[in-house]
Amino acid sequence: MCNTMKNKFMREAIRLSIQMMRRGKGGPFGAVVVKGGRIVGRGCNQVTSGNDPTAHAEIVAIREACRRLKTFQLDDCDLYTSCEPCPMCLSAMYWARIRTAFFGNNRKDAAKIDFDDDFIYREVALPIRKRSLVMKPLLRAEALAAFKEWAQKADKIPY
């Protein structure tokens, strides 16, 4: 895809970030998912307006693209986002199999306006016992029953 088209899609993500922030939807973040040269998913940050801490622009755009394309894998899609993705959004892009992600602002730009994800990036890299979020195993033997059944399930849809 040529740079003119890439710039067009990034400008749409930036436009969404500004427009929806001004409307009070949430923080200054926008994203679009593109397949075959057309936008198949749009998203803006809706954390505060939707009372949903997972409603980041990238997640909203991925959800819309998956609904529209009737798939859970976007391996032939690119994502344009107004800011470098946080760890949650980056993980969602991997799960969705996004081919390429383009971003405008970077993590340091976001930190300067009090959206600092470096803490989470550092936490994820720590062993479980050293994270600030207390995590304790519980009823593993019982929980393994679901995994054992999944492993044997003949009609499962792998992902």
**What single-letter DSSP state applies at residue 84?**
P
Q: Assess whether 58 carries a catalytic annotation.
A: yes
DSSP of 121-132: HHHHHS-GGGSS
Q: How many CB atoms lie within 10 A of CB 140?
A: 7
User: 58, 123, 142, 149: which one is catalytic?
Assistant: 58
Cα within 13 Å of Cα(24), Cβ side: 1
What is the β-pairing status of strands 77-83 and 100-105?
Answer: parallel
Beta bridge partners of 79: 33, 101
As annotated, the active-site residues are 58
